[in-house]
Structure 1
Amino acid sequence: MTIETRLAELGLTLPDAPAPAANYVPFVRTGSQLFISGQISQTAEGRITGKLGADMTLEQGAEAAKACALSLIAQARAACDGDLERVVRLVKLVGFVNSTPDFTQQPQVINGASDLMVAVFGDAGRHARSAVSAASLPMGVAVEIEAVFEIR
């Protein structure tokens, strides 16, 4: 089964690969590694903003992380000239959660992205990961996640 077929079976539609918001590139390929710049929590309807532990629930945070994961996959597809079958595996995710000082469930928020990656890529979606708190994120978004993929 192809990655595109899996996405369709899961009812997921990838957004267009988001353009950079500042002076950086969306991804860098070096050898078989693909580094994807941080993708913020946004959907076609707009940015998902808020602060976990204040005005967002854990479930809303996990949905925000899922939106980041879809953008990461869209960037990977763009980097692979439209061919997600070139993805060998997801190596690592680094997730930042806009949260209050007493909020301690950053790993559960980033699970929204991790679970989606495993659903889409199967065992090749299992990855190393960091999930950390941030006092603030660009444009007030709830979550930002960056990724490293191995590609052919």
Structure 2
Amino acid sequence: MSTPEERLSELGITLPPAMKAVANYVPFVISGNQLFVSGQVSATPDGRITGRLGETMDLPAGQQAARYCGINLIAQCKAAVGELSKIKRVVKLGGFVNCHPLFTDIPQVINGCSDLMVEVFGENGRHARSAVACPTLPLGVAVEIDGVFEIDS
């Protein structure tokens, strides 16, 4: 089986530098054999993906925004542990979607990140998850997702 880095390459994904914190928190914390990654926003190397699902963004755009959150989560994992093969399992994702009150496809938006985790980590990428609607998110982003990962200790 190929490594997570090889799978990223096969998917044509180059990890960006891990994002720096924008307030009074740290990007990640390791406690025992768990890695807690702070919420990663929908941002590309060119800038943040802003917008509101059901108003200025449709479902496919939201799924792409969530995928970028996943890429940023993986970049934080790499910054935390070095080689991604040290990630034993994606344990849980918490997804937040900036959306109109009548927009109900919140779980489908977060699938953009969940699908990426399975593509990169295989069966160990399957995880528990929450998906929540929000009236707004920091910096006006469309999606924010945090994660808990089991790591080799």
Provide the alpha-carbon RMSD of the alignment: 0.5
TM-score w.r.t. length of structure 1: 0.98
Q: CA deviation at 1:136?
A: 0.3
Q: Distance in 1 between matches of 2:8 and 2:101?
A: 36
1:19-57 alpha-carbon deviations (Å, 9 max, x no partner): 000010000000000000000000011100000010101
- The corresponding residue for 1:87 is 87
Unaligned residue ranges in structure 1 (runs of 5+) = none
- Partner of 2:102: helix, strand, or coil? coil
**Partner in structure 2 of residue 76 of structure 1:** 77
Report the number of matched residues. 151
Partners of 2:138 and 2:67 in 1: CA distance: 18
User: Shift of the alpha carbon at 1:13?
Assistant: 1.0
Question: What one-letter code is carried by the residue in structure 2 that aligns with 1:10?
Answer: L
- Measured after TM superposition, the shift of residue 68 of structure 1 is 0.3
1:14 to 2:15 alignment:
yes
The runs of at least 4 aligned residues of structure 1 exceeding 4 Å deviation read none
**1-side partners of 2:111 and 2:15: how far apart?**
19
Q: Which runs of 5+ in 2 are unaligned?
A: none
User: What is the letter of the counterpart of residue 112 of structure 2?
Assistant: G
Counterpart amino acid of residue 139 in structure 1? L
For residue 124 of structure 2, give the secondary structure of its aligned residue in structure 1. Answer: helix
Percent identity (aligned): 62
TM-score by length of 2: 0.98
